[in-house]
Structure 1
Amino acid sequence: MVSVVYEAPDTIEAAVSLLADATTPAMVLAGGTDLIIQTNASKDRERLFVDIKKIAGMSAANLTESGLELGPSMSCAEFTARDDIKAVFPGLVEAAYLIGSTQVQGRASVGGNLCNSSPAADTIPPLIANAAVCVIAHPNGERIVAVEDFVTGVGRNCLEKGELLKSIKVPQPAANTSDAYLRFIPRTEMDIAVAGAGVSVTLDDQGTCKAARVAIGAVAPTVLLVPDASTALVGSKLDDDALETAAAAATAAASPINDRRGTIEFRQHVVGVLVKRATRIAADRAKG
């Protein structure tokens, strides 16, 4: 059994200090839905839990003219209840709603989903599609990392000892911009993605795509930004040819595994289909 030391600091500085000075494996507790399970399976004799929910701003979401600033411990239940955020980032909010059951939603968070760094994380593709960045606190200040660079492998990310995800910032979209996220799962609910796609598109007044970002999940060790898929969409009316080219780019970028939930070939095909469908949804939303 793992012996857990629990700390609940009320400032960023205190939390960073605890993490930096820890002599045992130190873990940040946001919601804990993955952390508790991982700890029960751990071979560590002792762990430090640093609960960040008492720190001001960590469980808040602020939407301004500059965009969204999201605290890493705000629960998915609270986040998905925010109609003002859903009006601007519908795909991101829908992705957060897909994490777990109703009970899990009360604890799980977008920040925790990101830091758990699963290839199948639902919120990472729409975060990348919306050009979100991570604000990371450390003993000497802060640094900014794009979400697509945050996750470095299966269950691994760029956080170093003494570092803490302070917030996620999503820039305000340009006019006529919207997003969408879709995933494929074997069951109807409460499952993890076999493949997922997050897309953001910006249209001009004639309906031509002038900017796009496409991210795919569960088909590689990390969620991938697919520039070739974005390039296929920009300059088009998002017609069938453009969508097929974007889908082919997503399929080509994917490097999935074979397992009982899906073959390599199946995942490669499905992720392309999801890119096409998510693009259509995002475009319809961008048109208003």
Structure 2
Amino acid sequence: MTVSRFYSPQSIAEATAILRQQSGCQVLAGGTDLLVQMRNGVKQPEYIVDIKEIPGIRDVTLTNQGLTLGAAAPAQSVTERPDIAAAYPGLVEAIDMIGSTQIQGRCSVGGNLCNASPAADTVPALIAVGAVCHVVGGEGVRQVRVEDFNTGPGENCLKRDELLISLFIPRPGVGSADAYLRFTPRTEMDIAVVGAGVSLSLDPMGTVSAARVAIGAAAPTALLVEEAAAAIIGTTLEESALAALAAAAGAAASPISDKRGSAGYRTKVVGVMARRAAQIACDRAQQRQRRAH
């Protein structure tokens, strides 16, 4: 690994100026993906821009409006917060699946998103809860929904001089909850064969009034599957609704075949994971409704 220069900017403006002026830059947030890729020769950046010293970029803030995650906030700073886990159990489940305890102290949700792996656990979970990216660059500030952020394996929508600064997730209502499930051959420290995130809201009668369903490791990028959400909206998650959700998730998938599973297998299992995640999210929403009354 040979790097010509290592930058540690102290502000967003300084960071974007470096990215604009120098070609061949790679941003470092936690480094748990980047350093491995450099060692394996997958990436060979000439310059490293370490953003961890930018004020606020490692902050995690929960308010009545929602959760703001700084792009370089360590995963552990999220998973160790009971208040965040209570509000976003599915998202925290997904974040907690990134690597080992040691990795959790360095890796970040923002880095996991920017790395743009189709199998990243946090991405479908973020899509399910409606997360929005706060991006800053030479042309100003823009908001990008997570489902639009990654454009292909290892590729995202950031321009050369842009940075992901933070992620914002709206606070769920009393009758709302989320869940994330993945299938892997091993229970720990493995890459998802498929994953599914679901968030939903129940009205006072227990009918699904809103939903978001996302799948991962089943296409070049994680997908928001609107047809799967539509299959359960207006229902009480009876068997026919869950079957329709699973079928829609499978229909949206376009996975590859590799040593971890065939395309046909992934297509089948992603529907199963989406169905189970929907049921868990519904159970959690019902529990929240009961506690509120």
Normalization by structure 1: what TM-score? 0.97
Partners of 2:131 and 2:265 lie apart in 1 by 29
**C-alpha deviations, 1:178-236, integer Å up to 9, x for none?**
00000000112110000000000100111100000000000100000000000001000
How many residues were matched structurally?
A: 287
Matches within 5 A, 1:51-130: 51-130=50-129
**Offset, 1:4:** 4.1
Residue in 2 that maps onto 1:269: 268
1:265 counterpart letter in structure 2: G
Partner of 1:274: helix, strand, or coil? helix
Runs of 4+ residues deviating >2 angstroms: 1-4, 40-46
CA contact (8 A) 1:2 1:42 kept: no
Matches within 5 A, 1:70-219: 70-219=69-218
Partner of 1:287: helix, strand, or coil? helix
Partners of 1:234 and 1:212 lie apart in 2 by 7
Residue in 1 that maps onto 2:27: 28
Partners of 2:193 and 2:26 lie apart in 1 by 28
Residue in 2 that maps onto 1:11: 11
**C-alpha deviations, 1:69-90, integer Å up to 9, x for none?**
1101111111100111111111
Partner of 2:209: helix, strand, or coil? strand
**Identity rate of aligned residues, in percent?**
54
Residue in 1 that maps onto 2:247: 248
Partners of 2:4 and 2:151 lie apart in 1 by 27
Normalization by structure 2: what TM-score? 0.95
RMSD of the alignment, in Å? 1.2
**C-alpha deviations, 1:227-253, integer Å up to 9, x for none?**
000000100001111000000000000
Partners of 2:71 and 2:272 lie apart in 1 by 31
**C-alpha deviations, 1:21-76, integer Å up to 9, x for none?**
113x1111110001011222337775211111111111111111211111011111
1:164 counterpart letter in structure 2: L
CA contact (8 A) 1:2 1:40 kept: no
Partner of 1:236: helix, strand, or coil? coil
CA contact (8 A) 2:25 2:45 kept: no
- From the superposition, tell whether residues 21 and 173 of structure 1 become closer, same or farther in structure 2 (CA, over 3 Å): same
- Structure 1 alignment gaps of length 5 or more: none
